[in-house]
A and B are shown apart, each in its own frame.
Chain A
Amino acid sequence: MRRISNVAGFGVLLVLLILFSVANDEGLMISKVSAAEMGTRSLELSDSTSGKSGVTYNTSFQISTAGTLGSVEFQFCSNSTFPSDVCDVPAGIDASGAIFTKESGISGFTILSQTANEIIISRPPAPILAVNATALFTNITNPTNSGSYYLRVLTFPTDNASGAYTDNGGMAFAINSPISVKATVPPYLYFCTGNTIAGTDCSTASGDFIDLGQLLSTRTSSGQSQMVVATNAQNGYSIEATGATLTSGNNTIPPLSADSPPQVGVSQFGINLRANSNPTVGADPYGPGNGQPTPNYNRPNLYRYINGDVVATNSSVEDGRKFTVSYVTDISKSQPPGIYASTFTYVAMGNF
């Protein structure tokens, strides 16, 4: 074999030798991070309203590195989650009065220090496994402005967050304006009268003329009408009856000024809003509402009439109520003849 053995000669070649780095199949290498990144983590707010005080911040984070844990730092920033970056304090945030309310997965911690954007909780350093931990803080004031913000969570083996951290994790959270919702419920009064009304449906009201027939001194005459009322008046309503008693020219049938039963042969006129048996006329209040006749018109078989009296009322909203008005009259033998008539007007008033 021939062999090139002149080392000096080859020295020249070596100087000119082109050295090549053989391609690295794996390409660029990613540098190793000295501390571990936390696993699954989140931050839950009880209220995301900008500037809101008394907000609860519930942090959950998965500790990656088992070892010694003495303190945990929570730092709020407006710019970045990375510990290597400067932390810009979110405007308006205030954790200086935060209360450390609850912990799980970790134990024995109390607040060591707190500022507007940082809370450090501490305990005597103790072993910790790689666990899921939570830390709940109340009484935090949100940042003033809407937008995205960040929380950095760092664990330390020391009890005062000094030295190198062990694990770190970042979270993003959002601050917003709430939605203001308004709705107006308009005042509402539903009222009708008629000889008859089906159910509480005013569209069925019919008739506005009651004929009491031939008045005799030997018997009581009667008739009835109905009225329906519904309202959302918060303070309820009242129904007033107005109109003169039965009149014929200068002659009248005297109205009963006090609750009285019918008296055959005595000239008198009265009403009530109840079901009666003497005579058989009228009906009790009907419907889902709670309205009632006023006391003077609320007793069966007793009648009265005073022009302008409130005959029915309710102190709150009425979800539909039908009242039946019973008209009862008697005459004496000396009652002057004639056609006796009257017009009764019922006025419902809602108290909003």
Chain B
Amino acid sequence: MKTKLRQLLRPVYAAPALALIAVSVLPIFMQTADAAAPYQVVTRSIKMSNSQTSAGSVTYDVTFSESSSSYPATIKGIVVDFCSTDPIPGDTCTAPAAPFAVTSTFTNDGDSVTNNASISGWTGGILNSGRTFDATSATGVATSSTAYVFNFQLTGVTNTATLGSFYARIFTYTTTAGATGYTDTNPNAGGGEQDYGGIALSTANVVDVTAKVQEQLTFCVYTATTCATQSGTPAVSLGNSGILSSTAYWVDNSTKYDIQTNAQTGATVTASAPTTLTGPGGATINALTTAATGTSIVGASEWGMCTYAGTAGGGTSGTFTPNTNYNGGTTACNATNVTAGSGTTSGVKYYFNGIGSTYGDPIATQGAGSGYTGNVVPIIASTSAAQAAGIYTMTLDFIATGTF
């Protein structure tokens, strides 16, 4: 009988071997010609939430369907035994290498499967010092005329330290004693074995992925059309042909800056000047340290600035916000309200409080993103009739500081 059995088995072995080559996933075992229980579960899998060796708090999502020959039956016990050796029921099962361990805790979320044979409410347990999980219920799950799908999650599992394959043996029982009495070499020691099946699992190396995202701050100040076309030191000449008048103010719109950053707290643009506009004999045209409209400075020797946004970069540009003192006030500083050249009436307010400031006066902030280009800094100036004649100069320094 034994011999006959062996002879019978060899061609049976060949068939599944060939089948394995052709098909990626197939049942590991071929049932013998005997049609009685236990039956082989089908469509079985164990999905690991983490395949890293020795990982803890791993969840094993166990799914299997009853054999079409298995129902109707009332299943009252389930065993999942993990082995490093093989998935063959009845073979000695060596536990996967430490620190592998299952716990008695499980959940049953059903994975929204049809005909879910829920074991919610069952009693979980462990056998063989954490190698084997079992669950039992005196009531059990009555499977009827269609194949039921068992789906439950073993939680708190610790993976084996061995890299590579290991196995699980699944057994269902029509008695609770069948599950609690399970042994590896005699799975039916407690009786009532209904279904069985083997599954291969594998730990794997993790893949280290590294991506560097560097701090970025791009800032360009220019008076040309664009940053790229700026040549030489940017220069501004205030006044009609560079000559100020005591009967009208002058607005220059040529100062611009581009800014972009990935600083998560954004970047601040500040402006400073070592001295105000200074001319012959130390005569000065003073900065507007109190915001004032263009209208109000006609005939006075004063200058100031405001700023407004240019063009947003593509995608998420980040928010560009002029500082309150430089946003023009009630009449906003923008391309509509600010007209370059000579004028006598303007409600836009101008301001500057960065003379001699170590780090400059904040004029705008830029949030993380693709940034803005062509942000404008209109500069206004006027002179009184008594202002000493001569050439007045100063240097404006714009500084961008990113907070990463």
Contacts and interface: CB of A to CB of B under 8 A. Distances in A.
B50 A317 contact: no
A90 B147 CA distance: 72
Contacts of B218: 148, 174
Interface stretch (A4-12, A106-114, A256-264): A4-12
B219 A22 contact: no
Contacts of B36: 1-2
A234 B392 CA distance: 14
B215 A150 contact: yes
Interface in B2-56: 5-6, 9-10, 13, 16-17, 20-21, 24-26, 28-32, 34, 36-38, 45-52
B145 interface: no
A180 interface: yes
Contacts of B29: 4
Given A4-B32, A150-B215, A186-B243, A177 B234 contact: yes
Contacts of A172: 214-217, 261, 263, 402, 404
A24 B59 CA distance: 10
A28 B206 CA distance: 7
Interface in A2-44: 2-7, 9-10, 12-14, 16-26, 28-31, 40-44
Contacts of A56: 358
A319 to B, nearest CB: 4
B221 A179 contact: yes
A179 B389 contact: no
Contacts of A181: 235-238, 277, 379, 393-396
Given A28-B207, A181-B379, A58 B359 contact: yes
Contact of A18 (B20, B221, B243, B281): B20
Contacts of A81: 214-215
A173 interface: yes
Given A29-B206, A43-B401, A232-B385, A183 B6 contact: no
Given A22-B46, A40-B265, A232 B386 contact: yes
Interface in B346-386: 358-359, 379, 381, 383-386
A10 B386 contact: no
Contact of B402 (A14, A18, A42, A82): A42
Contact of B403 (A14, A30, A42): A42
Contacts of B20: 13, 16-18
Listed residue (A46, A47, A56, A174) with the most chain B CB atoms within 10 angstroms of its CB: A174
A23 B215 CA distance: 35
A222 to B, nearest CB: 33
B91 interface: yes
Given A18-B20, A48-B399, A169-B404, A182 B393 contact: yes
A182 B389 contact: no
Given A10-B86, A22-B202, A170 B404 contact: yes
Contacts of B71: none
A146 interface: yes
B165 interface: yes
B70 to A, nearest CB: 13
Q: Sort chain B's interface into a size bin.
A: 35 or more
A233 interface: yes
Contacts of B48: 22, 24-25
Interface string B260-297: 01010100000010000101110101000000000000
Contact of A319 (B88, B237, B386): B386
B243 A40 contact: no
A11 B324 CA distance: 80
A242 B215 CA distance: 76
A80 interface: yes
A319 B212 CA distance: 65
A45 B401 CA distance: 8
Nearest to A33: B210
A185 B279 contact: yes
Q: Sort chain A's interface into a size bin.
A: 35 or more
A183 B250 CA distance: 10
B313 to A, nearest CB: 16
A158 to B, nearest CB: 26
A187 B379 CA distance: 23
B50 to A, nearest CB: 6
B6 A9 contact: yes
Given A3-B90, A13-B28, A177-B234, A318 B386 contact: yes
A44 B270 CA distance: 10
A80 B214 CA distance: 7
Contacts of A176: 219-221, 397-399
Interface in A180-217: 180-188, 190
Contacts of A320: 385
B59 to A, nearest CB: 8
Given A148-B218, A170-B404, A171-B402, A234 B280 contact: yes
B73 interface: no
Contacts of B203: 21
Contacts of B261: 172
A58 B164 CA distance: 53
B24 A18 contact: yes
A209 B238 CA distance: 44
27 contacts: A1-B187, A4-B29, A9-B6, A9-B13, A13-B13, A18-B200, A22-B48, A22-B51, A25-B47, A41-B404, A47-B397, A48-B219, A82-B212, A170-B404, A171-B402, A172-B402, A178-B397, A180-B235, A180-B395, A182-B235, A185-B279, A185-B383, A185-B390, A186-B243, A188-B385, A234-B388, A317-B388
10 shortest A-B CB distances, which residue pairs?
A174-B219, A172-B217, A31-B208, A183-B238, A319-B386, A29-B206, A179-B396, A187-B389, A234-B388, A42-B403
Given A22-B45, A22-B201, A184-B390, 18 more contacts: A1-B193, A9-B6, A9-B10, A9-B13, A13-B16, A18-B24, A21-B202, A44-B359, A172-B402, A174-B218, A176-B220, A177-B233, A178-B395, A179-B234, A185-B389, A190-B385, A232-B388, A319-B385
Interface of B: 5-6, 9-10, 13, 16-17, 20-21, 24-26, 28-32, 34, 36-38, 45-52, 86, 88-91, 164-165, 187-188, 193, 200-204, 206-210, 212, 214-221, 223, 230, 233-239, 242-244, 246, 255, 261, 263, 265, 272, 277, 279-281, 283, 285, 303, 358-359, 379, 381, 383-404
